[in-house]
Amino acid sequence: MTTVLKLGGELLEDAAGVATAAAAIVRLSVRTPLVVVHGGGRAIDAELRARGEEPRFVDGLRVTDGPALEAAVSVLAGRTNTTLVAALGAAGVRAVGLTGADGPVGLSSQADSFRTVSGETVDLGLVGEPCATDMTLLRDLLGLGYVPVVASIGVTRRGELLNVNADTLAGHLAAALGAAELLIAGGTPGVLTADEQPIAQLSRDDMDAMIAAGTAHSGMLAKLAACRVALDGGVTHVSIVSGRDASDYAEAAGTRILEGLLATSPGHAQGGSSTAGRRPEGTA
């Protein structure tokens, strides 16, 4: 059964981070068919600033105008994806670099552009929401022993590129592929309590309550929403874990999301007991 691994862009910011991620992917790929989805939020931020633009986020989603989309495509489909695929190849992994426009595995519709924040209506711009599509390309590559590495760029039926949150795309692909496992690896070890301790297990009800109550916010909101999509699609093992070391991501410190009604965890996360949000990684 397939595993979908989402790598946060913060794990791929330099050569050491890419090498660490590649080592972890090697370990995963020898035991399970694997699809990797990656973001690149901070690299996109840096690219935008180099172009004289300031990044903006709403609910963890990047406000994506024309220049922001151009920067996202350049960074994700170009530098980040190619660098990771090259590192995997050097480590002996048969990796194939893709974007959501290939296949198209990331077929998307333009998301509702407008959000109300503090009484102000904000236009998110060119942000995509993945929709049902053909997984033949990914299934064929997996069947041939390849590891698809997908940059989080979406495409409409009219061929228009859109910026898609990498967590969102990973959750969608896990559900569409009927994957056994979704691993979301990032810079923090899962959902954290108010005193910065990772919550080992979080029930589906707890997760939904956090989303509804607004205690999950910024980048963590998108991660929890992706977990919900995966669970709804029948994925049985869903986790948000630390990606900071090359140990087995499947055993890394983090939060396991359970379908059951009760989670046993240090810092049971109902209502406001969690700090489930950090600096927005944003839409890729």
Which residues are part of the catalytic machinery?
6, 9, 41, 167, 223
Residue 203: both structure tokens together:
């029930």
* Of 281, 22, 48, 83, nearest in space to 170 by CA: 281
Asked if residue 148 has a cis previous peptide bond (ω within 30° of 0), the answer is no
Give the DSSP per-residue string, 166-229.
HHHHHHHHHHHHT-SEEEEEESSSSSBBTTSPBPSEEEHHHHHHHHHHT-S-HHHHHHHHHHHH
Contact 244, 11 (CB under 8 A): yes
Q: Pairing mode, if any, of strands 114-117 and 120-123?
A: antiparallel
